[in-house]
Structure 1
Amino acid sequence: MPLRVHGRSVAWLPPLLLLIGIALFDANTSGRFRIISWVVLVPVIAAAVCGVIGTVVFAGLSMLTYVAVDLSWPHQYQNGLPDFFLVVVGGALAAVACSVRLGAEQRMLHMRDIAETTRRTVLRPMPQGWGGLDHAAVYLAADSEARVGGDFYDIQPGRHGTRLLLGDVQGKGLAAVEAAAALLSTFREAAYHERVLATVAGRLEVRMLRHNGYRVALGRADGDRFATGVLVAFSEDAPATVDVVNFGHEPPLVVAPDGVRSLPPGDGMPLGMGDLASAPPPVLRVPLAPGETLLLVTDGVTEARDAAGDFFPLRDALTKALARDPRTAEPHRLVRFVRDRTLDHCGGRLADDTTIFAVRRRPAGVRRT
């Protein structure tokens, strides 16, 4: 990334200052201590911060400076042609190195664009008020270079109300991203069309099993993959309740200005492991009053450890924060608070991908999207 001041590139400044400094220092030393051949470093520095043309320009300036300064000395103190060839070869190699650097940077930017496109496909941006919900979310990758992992979430308005899904695919890497994308695509269709929430849950289970079978057929099986998750339905007919299906995930928290409570666990098996259960996961109807926020997190939050190995006490931290400022229950404030406190607790070293998702119904009279 070029050095900039007020939006203008000053990448040329470091090699120029180095060139002037070497020339002045050499001109003011004794003939027994010559450093003019050090100008070979100038195009090397330029190769690290400038473009190819800038590097070639500094290579030329280095050669001209060498000749001018060296010839200003008496013959017995001149470095002569051997060091001049060193400066020429150094300038040429610096130009080649600069070209290689720029090519690598272009490839890196291209890969970042691909990763960002993948992230926006899997974790699509949602407009405010989407599905009649105020919402806020943050995704933090354990790998600082990654843009997306096995965590996933979405809101889908449909014919029978608004549904949301948050989950965490077992494992990491592209295989986890593929599984997350498969589950989200199924959720977006089923949540829109299906009237019964249990049917949506069943289709997610089948999709996970089909995805595992597909990987086996490709010869890419690395063990049965599963995903924990929480499926929530907001019905317009019951504005003070929500229906919840829990697939072996951490139960959501209900955050209100006057306190925090946890929803029942639900006792469901993770997606992809439904065959191990005697019955499908139950659909639980739980109260959610107007103004209360539903907070869903992945285990990057609940399993964040400090230097002593202690887990992050999410519920206690929220209780104290609400006592200080009841506005912490607002989705955007809530997500920001949980993100900051989680990073503080683990010293910025996340052991797992982390998703924080907060939603609540929009107040009555506010236009729904």
Structure 2
Amino acid sequence: MTDEELPPRQLLRIRGYSVAWLLPLLLLVLIILGDVYTHQRFRIITWIVLVPGTAAAICGVWTTAGFAVVALLAYFLVDIAWPLQYRAGLADFVLVAVGGGLATLACAFRLGVERRMLHMRDVVEITRRTVLRQLPATWAGLENAAVYLTADTDARVGGDFYDIQPGPYGSRVLVGDVQGKGLGAVATAAALLGSFREAAYHEPGLADVAARLETRMQRHGRHVAALGRGADGERFATALLIGFPVRESGYVGIVNFGHEPPLAVRAGGVAGGVRLLSLGEGLPLGMSEFADGPPRVHRVPLAADETLLLVTDGVTEARDGTGAFYPLATEVARAVAEDPRTADPARLAAMVRDGTLRHTGDRLGDDTTVFAVRRLAGWRPELLPVRGRLRP
């Protein structure tokens, strides 16, 4: 859990110990001193009602209740020290007492809301991790790194997804983004990932995997529409499906479902740099009725030391304060030129993450996925984690 996800009172810590109580204590002392050393016609002791109110915002229930009692006691002792004609009196005493009680109740309510919010975030995180399974850094002959950043708009979850599936016909990669947010988008992403994991293992051709994904998207849409959730049934998803063949290492197969094309990143040498893999215009998953035919598989040359960088629109549509988009290709080329090691998947994903956050001022407009993958150096086809005999 990050600092941004902790309740405010837990953020006020030094070496693991809470210091949230220092602020209301300081306020208490200042009000008492101010009342003692000001003119008798300018009494501020009644302001002591602010002390439990301040504690309610940053402390626990028992601490707030303690400050409510201390504030009431301090009011009584300071007030009776003044001559009778200058005392604030019983009415203000009751005000401080009622204020302390209300502050304690408000603190209990705040903590209850915070606990519910944290529970909801835990549920969201568990749901996300269930859909997006954790990948080893080296898996299926591929070195990979993934970054998932949530915009957390109105505490909703998005539909970004990614996975690698090894199989007898090679390793397949899927990265995409379901239109919309909420549990409906997560359910759609889960349906597509489930279909991908089966089809990518069993289907010999990448076009067959793509057809299975489109069929699953259509079936899922009809199912949710039959349940009366029409908006969820009309969702679509952009995606990139990439196949790394078992026997041939000089190219990859790519099917583009209306997604931003990937970047091929390479460090060093005359051929070093960044190139955009132009894949034409493909329709998103769920819109096959508008297509002229089955999805096209693009055969794209890819050197063994080139890293494929795949991102969702959280990166490509990231804007700064002036409305300018994040210049992804330019920034990647600059970073690789300055440090060739940036082409490594882990460094590349981290660089794009940091650049996107810096460009937007840490204010993401959409859930953001950065996925970098390249062939593992020294890898051999027989090392694929697949049982049974490899097929050519």
TM-score (structure 2 length as normaliser):
0.87
Query: Displacement, 1:339?
Result: 2.7
8 Å CA contact 1:118, 1:148 repeated in 2: no
Question: Which of residues 321, 340, 350 is equivalent to 1:326?
Answer: 340
Residue in 1 that maps onto 2:61: 52
Question: Which of residues 205, 210, 221 is equivalent to 1:212?
Answer: 221
8 Å CA contact 1:134, 1:331 repeated in 2: yes
Which ranges in structure 2 are unaligned for 5 or more consecutive residues?
1-7, 386-392
Partner Cα distance (2:326, 2:291) in 1:
31
Residue in 1 that maps onto 2:251: 241
1:293-308 map, 5 Å = 293-306=307-320
8 Å CA contact 1:304, 1:311 repeated in 2: yes
Map Cα deviations across residues 263-309 of structure 1 (whole Å, 9 max, x no partner). 24154322111222232112233222211101112233333345555
Map Cα deviations across residues 89-140 of structure 1 (whole Å, 9 max, x no partner). 1111111111111111111111110111111122222121122211112223
Partner Cα distance (2:365, 2:39) in 1:
59
Residue in 2 that maps onto 1:78: 87
Partner Cα distance (2:31, 2:248) in 1:
78
Residue in 2 that maps onto 1:261: 275
Deviates more, 1:333-342 or 1:92-101: 333-342
Residue in 2 that maps onto 1:35: 44
Residue in 1 that maps onto 2:129: 120
Partner Cα distance (1:166, 1:31) in 2:
72
Letter of the 1:284 partner, please give it. Answer: H
Question: Which of residues 357, 369, 377 is equivalent to 1:355?
Answer: 369
* Cα distance change of structure 1 residues 320 and 72 upon mapping to structure 2, 3 Å threshold: closer
Deviates more, 1:44-53 or 1:343-352: 343-352
Number of matched residues?
369
8 Å CA contact 2:138, 2:144 repeated in 1: yes
Residue in 2 that maps onto 1:95: 104
Letter of the 1:242 partner, please give it. Answer: V
Partner Cα distance (1:221, 1:62) in 2:
57
8 Å CA contact 1:266, 1:284 repeated in 2: no
* Cα distance change of structure 1 residues 100 and 190 upon mapping to structure 2, 3 Å threshold: same
8 Å CA contact 1:268, 1:280 repeated in 2: no
8 Å CA contact 1:294, 1:359 repeated in 2: yes
Letter of the 2:335 partner, please give it. Answer: A
8 Å CA contact 2:158, 2:180 repeated in 1: no
Map Cα deviations across residues 319-367 of structure 1 (whole Å, 9 max, x no partner). 3333332222111221222233334444544444332211011110698
Partner Cα distance (2:154, 2:280) in 1:
35
Question: Which of residues 238, 253, 264 is equivalent to 1:228?
Answer: 238
Residue in 2 that maps onto 1:138: 147
Letter of the 1:183 partner, please give it. Answer: L
Partner Cα distance (2:23, 2:364) in 1:
37
Identity %: 61
TM-score (structure 1 length as normaliser):
0.92
Partner Cα distance (2:185, 2:260) in 1:
19
* Cα distance change of structure 1 residues 101 and 352 upon mapping to structure 2, 3 Å threshold: closer
* Cα distance change of structure 1 residues 346 and 67 upon mapping to structure 2, 3 Å threshold: closer
Residue in 2 that maps onto 1:110: 119
* Cα distance change of structure 1 residues 82 and 221 upon mapping to structure 2, 3 Å threshold: same
* Cα distance change of structure 1 residues 88 and 343 upon mapping to structure 2, 3 Å threshold: closer
Question: Which of residues 160, 169, 180 is equivalent to 1:171?
Answer: 180
Partner Cα distance (2:93, 2:317) in 1:
61
SS at 1:171 equivalent: strand
Partner Cα distance (1:266, 1:302) in 2:
17
SS at 1:255 equivalent: strand
Query: Displacement, 1:247?
Result: 1.5
Deviates more, 1:247-256 or 1:335-344: 335-344
* Cα distance change of structure 1 residues 355 and 69 upon mapping to structure 2, 3 Å threshold: same
* Cα distance change of structure 1 residues 279 and 209 upon mapping to structure 2, 3 Å threshold: same
* Cα distance change of structure 1 residues 106 and 313 upon mapping to structure 2, 3 Å threshold: closer
Runs of 4+ in 1 over 6 A off after TM superposition: 366-369
Query: Displacement, 1:216?
Result: 1.4
SS at 1:279 equivalent: coil
Residue in 2 that maps onto 1:13: 22
Partner Cα distance (1:190, 1:18) in 2:
65
SS at 2:193 equivalent: helix
SS at 1:215 equivalent: helix
8 Å CA contact 2:305, 2:375 repeated in 1: yes
8 Å CA contact 2:52, 2:103 repeated in 1: yes
Q: Say whether 1:272 aligns with 2:286.
A: yes
Letter of the 1:174 partner, please give it. Answer: L
8 Å CA contact 2:261, 2:279 repeated in 1: yes
